[in-house]
Amino acid sequence: MNTTTASPSNPSSAPRTLTLESGFFARRNAFDWIFAAIVLAGGLFTLHRYGAFMDVYEKGILIAAMPFFAWLGWFWRPAARLMLAVAVLSLLALASYQNGGQGELERADNVFWLKYFLSSQSAILWMSVLFCMSTVFYWIGTLSRGEGVAMSRVGTRLAWVAVTMALTGTMVRWYESYLIGTDIGHIPVSNLYEVFVLFCWLTTTFYLYYEDHYKTRALGGFVMLVVSGAVGFLLWYTVAREAQEIQPLVPALKSWWMKLHVPANFIGYGTFALSAMVAFAYLIKQQAGETRWVKLAPLWLLGIVLCFEPIVFRKTAGGNGSAYWMVYFGLSALIVAGILAGRKRIAAKLPPLVVLDDMMYKAIAVGFAFFTIATVLGALWAAEAWGGYWSWDPKETWALIVWLNYAAWLHMRLMKGLRGTVSAWWALGGLAVTTFAFLGVNMFLSGLHSYGTL
């Protein structure tokens, strides 16, 4: 449908043609509509099959999720392919568990696909391996003498497969919890093991979006270092605490608020971590021409901070765990030293500073929005669980500190034009604050959120 109009300020000007075919829905192709139909059918099937296990709020979340996921697939085509792949693998896993008899969980050790690929533990182990491999290939591409496009592309593809396995493992773990007992079944975002998986795939997915948006893979090595660090903790936590075992929820977590509060919170954590590593890359590019190692001392200090996990956890692990963290520390120190030593070559492949600054800002803006939503949802959840919106619990206090830190960063940027070195160092400092709010509170402080202790 076409209409013609003349300019109101100049009636004699040539008429302009307005084409409605350029609208959002008109731009959808056959794949988009098929994907939307699949999302709708999947949501309705889930509602029909598992609606008996949901309360009215959970049904509302599911119904609202259907148009959201359809829009997300339309907005970013790789997300649609990711969701379809996860759905296929998850359904294959569920079908492998359903043998029509008892002992369904035992099939994880007997069915080939479950044992080696699709049980929750197998899928998450694959996720861990693939994230580390992705990090290696990204850095090979960055440090190679040529463009390194092929190696970086492999890093991207491995990251996508890792995210697919992480989401598959999450969905299958959700189903496995109900196989243990309907009173035990819950969405797997309730303990440190589960939320570390959530952090890994959320951070990577947001990075992959920015990689696609800015058309550069040069930051993959930086961002995936944080993800690989989280994988290192996850593997230790699995062995040292047998955290992979599905446990019943404590009473405070038996709430539909958890399905909203925790994912929103970790979108904030993930994007804050992403912005910090982009800030690290910003400083590396800015200091690329510096030849005096004394001037690079702040970056060395940053390396020590980024590798703080071994110092903290070696005393709590004991025995072989202590040796594990010392090896971890050694590798981390070598990586940071390698980045500083090869900063000229790395800087040459990084995007311009203005692009890095823009990516840093957008990541913090997204994270701040979701962290604000998570904080409000957390207050509502606290009112339901403990009878008050705010109790100055250590976790709540540090969440407020994180919020104030990034609120001040955004205020200074938008109102005072904050850019450059100060902005980058502030974003890196935010990573330390966020990490303590995420892990440090659980380790060193006790309170109403102590169910996440180490």
pLDDT, tens digit (0-9, with 9 covering 90-100), for 363-386: 999 999 999 999 999 999 888 877
- Give the residues across from 3 on adjacent strands: 18
Whole-structure pTM value? 0.89
Confidence (pLDDT) at 241? 79
> What backbone phi and psi angles, to 5 degrees, belong to 447?
175, -160
Q: What angle do CA 432, 189, 176 make, to 5 degrees?
A: 145
Can you give the C-alpha Rg of the chain in angstroms?
Answer: 24
Confidence (pLDDT) at 293? 65
Confidence (pLDDT) at 79? 97
For the chain, which ranges sit under pLDDT 50? 1-3, 5-9, 11-14, 16-21, 100, 317, 319
217 Cβ neighbours under 8 A, 6+ residues apart: 138, 141, 149, 152, 153, 155, 156, 211
Closest to 409 (Cα-Cα) out of 400, 419, 399: 419
Query: CA-to-CA distance for 89 and 164, rounded, in angstroms?
Result: 9
CB of 112 within 8 A of CB of 194?
Answer: no
Confidence (pLDDT) at 249? 87
Confidence (pLDDT) at 206? 97
Query: CA-to-CA distance for 374 and 394, rounded, in angstroms?
Result: 16
* 189 inside domain: yes
Q: Which amino acid is at 73?
A: G
For β-strands 16-19 and 2-5, DSSP reports them as: antiparallel
Tokens of 410: 């955004």
* 427 inside domain: no
Residue 319 Rama label (left phi>0; alpha psi -120 to 50; beta): left
CB-CB neighbours of 22 under 10 Å:
8
* 419 inside domain: no
Confidence (pLDDT) at 336? 80
- Could you tell me the CA-to-CA distances from 440 to 62, 195, 446 in Å, in that order? 33, 15, 11
Q: Which residue has the tokens 């957008």?
A: 362
Q: Which residue has the tokens 């001037």?
A: 295
Tokens of 37: 């139909």
* 164 inside domain: yes
CB of 59 within 8 A of CB of 51?
Answer: yes
Confidence (pLDDT) at 150? 92
Confidence (pLDDT) at 252? 77
289 Cβ neighbours under 8 A, 6+ residues apart: 344
CB-CB neighbours of 120 under 10 Å:
25
CB of 63 within 8 A of CB of 47?
Answer: yes
Domain that holds residue 133: 104-241
Counted domains in the chain: 1
* 345 inside domain: no
CB-neighbour burial class of residue 289 (10 A; exposed 0-12, middle 13-18, buried 19+): exposed
The alpha carbon dihedral of 90, 267, 437, 334 has a sign of positive
* 285 inside domain: no
368 Cβ neighbours under 8 A, 6+ residues apart: 268, 403, 406, 407, 410
* 225 inside domain: yes
Query: CA-to-CA distance for 191 and 252, rounded, in angstroms?
Result: 13
* 138 inside domain: yes
Query: CA-to-CA distance for 428 and 303, rounded, in angstroms?
Result: 11
CB-CB neighbours of 10 under 10 Å:
8
- Could you tell me the CA-to-CA distances from 89 to 119, 188, 236, 396, 428 in Å, in that order? 10, 17, 27, 37, 37
